[in-house]
Structure 1
Amino acid sequence: MTADKAVRAFAGIMVLLSVALTYWVSPWFVLLTLFVGANLLQSAFTGFCPAEMFFRKMGLK
């Protein structure tokens, strides 16, 4: 698996998790969904993604 695919999988998991937490725990977890979306958007324009840096340090190409 490449770091790019790992980032997309991680973002998808985080969005699904935050939606579930928003539904069952607290409406404030919608902020996590907004944070993930904003991070994806800024990384599309800047190329800077902390999650990708982390996955590269973990050994993904």
Structure 2
Amino acid sequence: MTIDRAVLAFAGCVVLLGVALAHYVHPWWIALSVFAGLNMLQAAFTGFCPAAIVFKKLGIRPGVAFR
């Protein structure tokens, strides 16, 4: 697995978790999905992704997008 795929998998899990929590716990949990979406948008335009930095420090090999 590369950092690129790890970031995409993590973002997908956060979005799904936010939707599930909003459905089963409290509607305000949808903010977690909104945060993940906004973070993905800013990473697309700036190239800065905090999750990619964490995955790099964990030793996951780099991909093409996050070096």
Q: TM (normalized to structure 2)? A: 0.89
Structure 1's unaligned 5+ residue stretches are none
Structure 2's unaligned 5+ residue stretches are 62-67
RMSD: 0.4
- Poorly superposed stretches of 4+, deviation over 4 Å: none
Q: 2:31 maps to what in 1?
A: 31
| Residues 38-61 of structure 1: per-residue CA shift (max 9 Å, x gap) | 000000000000000000000011
Q: Which structure has more helix as a fraction of its residues? A: 1
Query: Is 1:48 the equivalent of 2:48?
Result: yes
Query: Is 1:15 the equivalent of 2:18?
Result: no
